Chain A
């Protein structure tokens, strides 16, 4: 079946411009996550959506970052007034709803490489 898809795969923008990154999760997955991976680093959690619940925004680095998830499916991560330190790969993942101690693997998309000049 189709995996997590993200678009665009690469985005180059000028400092100060706004960008939108899109994530299309696996059909039926109610949980959606955004992570950021700076060059040579591990992944940093940004935001989490679970069904219709309020998103967990605890990982967003500043108020320039926001995300929406429409209809419980597609998500858009928006970065306003981009800065050079925003340059990174932005990864989206989805999973089935967590239940108790069972684990549900997070399936990752290919990422969007953002370069802010």
Chain B
């Protein structure tokens, strides 16, 4: 079974509007962390935001916020006031704490295209 599922292979959003990128995950570990990364066409992976499984509040970082619904095992990324520079691939990833390697498991990504 997929541990991280991103069901939207591609999305369009109008500049200045908000957009939600979906991410669901599957783990039996009670402690885990969820990450979102942005990958522009240049290829580098840029860390955006983190949510810990025990965090009481949804994470926010500037225009990025994470809609964390633990019971539903979803961690959707919300980008407010979209900008043209937000056009990129977005990856959701999970780190399970009982994984001694602490490696990240990534979803398949969502390509976001911002229209002017």
Contact A48 B47 (CB under 8 A): no
Chain A interface mostly = strand
Count, A-B residue pairs, CB within 8 A: 62
Interface size class of B (residues with CB under 8 A): 20 to 34
B83, chain A: closest CB distance, angstroms: 22
Is A33 part of the binding interface, using a Cβ–Cβ cutoff of 8 Å?
A: yes
B31-64, CB < 8 A from A: 31, 33, 35, 37, 42-45, 47, 50, 52, 54
B-side contacts of A101, CB under 8 Å: 31, 52, 54, 97
Would you list which residues of chain B between 85 and 110 have a CB under 8 Å from chain A?
Answer: 91, 93, 95, 97, 100-109
| Sample of 6 further A-B pairs with CB below 8 A, known A101-B97, A106-B47 | A33-B104, A35-B104, A42-B91, A93-B45, A103-B95, A110-B42
